[in-house]
Amino acid sequence: MSDSVLQPVTSFPALGALPLARATSDRRCESRAQEDWLDSLRAAERTRYLVMIGGRARVLDGELVLMPAADLPEGGTEIYLGFDGSTEIVLHSFEQTPAAWAAPGSADELHPGQWLGLRDVAAGLGARDAGLFVEAVAIANWNHATNFCAGCGGPLTLRASGWVKFCAAEGREHFPRTDPAIIVAITDDADRLLLGANKAWGGTRFSTLAGFVDPGESLEAAVIREVAEESGVIVKNPRYMGSQPWPFPRSLMLGFTAIATGTELFPDGEEIIDLRWFTREELADAVRTGEIGVPAGVSIASALIENWFGGVLPQPEHLEN
């Protein structure tokens, strides 16, 4: 692993280094704005390319596979990612498998490794690679989805090494967007945790409440509004806990805690179909017996729940055998 330019962020208020928020590479925003930046990197010895196909990247022995320009297939969208202290790293993103790699016996088979998605592998990657992968997925999502000008409907061309799209007809620049979303661990006077079951999860998976920030709304107001809408609970004292990007397709999850002013629960019935208060013992038992599932892996929901719980939640018993 190369020396990193930036230190991992260690100033999260309470949640520590979240799996998708450990980036260490320098995005070199001034350099990437230069018109010939990607061309000059093509010719440079120290440039390596991350190939991503439909949001999946190749991983070998717990590291992203980076390749020289000579090994790249034709086509794809090229976007600058960053400098890790010794290597310039550029994304080469395809929405679908490039023709050169589609046929059996193609060049793809000469490169070992497994094609994996960000959520599958992020927790097992080092900080540099986790940061590069989350950046790659986020900027690729925007790039592949933004093909026409929102002002005039005209075609857009890439600029700034993939970080700006330009409408020549209007001389207008379009920049990548991120949608802020709050997610909140609510506790009552007895320090019980409120979790809800989303209709989309089948009714037995419980998690912290979450929602997008409205236009013109503060984060704190969004916490209070979302919780009231989904549970009928009025909360006070929203406290920021940490954040991580969640590029599925383009969210930034902002974690909070908040205190409930009452305990009566009114699930909205649309999004949230069940709500429960849990003591630590009740939650551990419900998870252990398989009565409910809770978020695991790289989500900030998991970090918020375990921060309240005071450690790692038990595994369901049927998995221990």
* Contacts to Zn ion by CB under 5 A: 149, 151-152, 154, 167, 170
Report in angstroms how near the CB of residue 168 gets to Zn ion at its nearest.
8
Q: Which two tokens stand for residue 239?
A: 């406290």
- Asked whether the beta carbons of 64 and 21 are under 8 A apart, the reply is no
**Quick one: which of 184, 170, 188 has its CA closest to 278?**
188
CB of 173 or CB of 291, closer to Zn ion: 173
CB of 156 or CB of 197, closer to Zn ion: 156
Q: Which residues contact 290 (CB under 8 A, 6 or more apart)?
A: 316, 317, 318
Q: Which residues contact 158 (CB under 8 A, 6 or more apart)?
A: 77, 143, 164, 165, 166
Q: How far apart are CA 298 and CA 153, in angstroms?
A: 37
Report in angstroms how near the CB of residue 161 gets to Zn ion at its nearest.
21
- Residue 13 preceded by cis peptide, ω within 30: no
CB of 149 or CB of 241, closer to Zn ion: 149
| Helix, coil or strand: residue 228 | helix
Report in angstroms how near the CB of residue 33 gets to Zn ion at its nearest.
20
Report in angstroms how near the CB of residue 148 gets to Zn ion at its nearest.
8
Report in angstroms how near the CB of residue 177 gets to Zn ion at its nearest.
16
- Asked whether the beta carbons of 186 and 259 are under 8 A apart, the reply is yes
Report in angstroms how near the CB of residue 154 gets to Zn ion at its nearest.
5
Report in angstroms how near the CB of residue 146 gets to Zn ion at its nearest.
12
DSSP conformation class of 52: E
CB of 112 or CB of 153, closer to Zn ion: 153
CB of 150 or CB of 234, closer to Zn ion: 150
Cα separation values, 133 from 158, 269, 278, Å: 21, 36, 35
Cα separation values, 185 from 104, 228, 234, 303, 308, Å: 49, 13, 13, 10, 8
Report in angstroms how near the CB of residue 160 gets to Zn ion at its nearest.
17
DSSP conformation class of 293: B
CB of 152 or CB of 234, closer to Zn ion: 152
CB of 136 or CB of 167, closer to Zn ion: 167
Q: How far apart are CA 253 and CA 256, in angstroms?
A: 10
CB of 172 or CB of 288, closer to Zn ion: 172
Buried b (16+ CB within 10 A) or exposed e, 98-125: beebeeeeeebeeeeeebbebbebbeeb
